[in-house]
Chains A and B, each alone.
Chain A
């Protein structure tokens, strides 16, 4: 029981505290690739601290939807975080079918982000919202197809057994190939959902290329802080899911397993940083092709699990 309580505590502590660090790791990796010193690892923590102390500027055309957007989005991804198993440990909340709740909590967050963007009445933010939902339609399909493969692989409809199944036994042959395809697909979903290169470039503020950034242009102060924090949590959760497929084994010691989890998630952040350093952003018209390709990869993975 004591161990359960400490696991629960660690789960929520990591869920709340770790996400901003991942963005620091990504930025450090990018800086290292470019030969720069880069911002400090804890830069996003400083930014959040600064933003939460600031006041807000709200446009007169906005309604409560604009203010609810970041709050609902961050709450939704934090709730989704209670369904995700971290490393070798079970998720605090698990039941058959929680994968649907996970996907739809993500969708709820996205819905409110886009609703808040549309609420400003600006054509520019409407354009960003249109792009976000269009690509999300395809990314969601890829996420669900990946889940279907894992359901087939594990025989369970809950995220914890689904993502613990790869670590349960030695992997080889067709199941290993199927999981590899799912891992590649989930990585693409992670990049798309977190608005990273090659789908979106978080550093640019150029009209032609923006997707996520354009939707949050009108937010300021604490609301902008919530938006940044929510995006970091989303990235963290998808990295935690991907970690089960990339490094599917445990160390059979609680302390080592927690450390392994933190190092693993950090390694995925480094991977994202490497992708962002060596790749350019895709042209907008090719993004659907990338996402459809990740759906197709999962379908191939599903066919492999049938054999």
Chain B
């Protein structure tokens, strides 16, 4: 008989079964001459499979349309740079002060 990792952790997985949700496959036969019995237990990765992987899949799905902006055409990338510079310039342009000086608002 070997003491496995699963049996080593069994007390804790039972105690915290409400969060760890261990899966148990125990084929018990009620026949008079029962066939060989099988027993299988596994603790699923709650954080990885239950939280992180679905979260990441959703994140990917939501952001997939943004892939269209990355296509490998240098000219358009330069256009992005130009547009960004224009936006930055416009946002730092002291429009309100000019309006105050010009129109006396």
Contacts and interface: CB of A to CB of B under 8 A. Distances in A.
A136 to B, nearest CB: 11
Interface in B1-40: 1-3, 7-12, 15
Contacts of A129: 8
A127 B12 contact: no
Nearest to B15: A288
A126 interface: yes
B15 A130 contact: no
Nearest to A135: B11
Contacts of A126: 3, 7-8
B3 A127 contact: yes
A62 to B, nearest CB: 15
Interface in A244-298: 288
Contacts of A130: 3, 7-11
A134 interface: yes
Interface residues of B, number: 10
Contacts of B12: 134, 137
Nearest to B11: A134
Which DSSP category, helix, strand, loop or mixed, fits chain B's interface?
Answer: helix
Nearest to A289: B15
A131 interface: yes
A137 B14 CA distance: 14
A133 B12 CA distance: 9
A123 B11 CA distance: 15
Contacts of B15: 134, 288
Contacts of B8: 126, 129-130, 133
A131 B11 contact: yes
- Name the residue in B2, B7, B10, B15 with the highest tally of chain A Cβ atoms < 10 Å from its Cβ: B15
Contacts of A123: 1-3
A133 B11 CA distance: 10
Contacts of B1: 123
Contacts of B10: 130
Nearest to A117: B3
A5 B11 CA distance: 48
Interface string A99-122: 000000000000000000010001
B45 to A, nearest CB: 19
Contacts of B7: 126-127, 130
Interface in A41-99: none
A113 to B, nearest CB: 15
7 contacts: A118-B3, A123-B3, A130-B9, A130-B10, A133-B8, A288-B11, A288-B15
Given A130-B11, A288-B11, 4 more contacts: A118-B3, A127-B3, A131-B11, A137-B12
The 4 closest A-B pairs by CB, nearest first: A126-B3, A134-B11, A123-B3, A130-B8
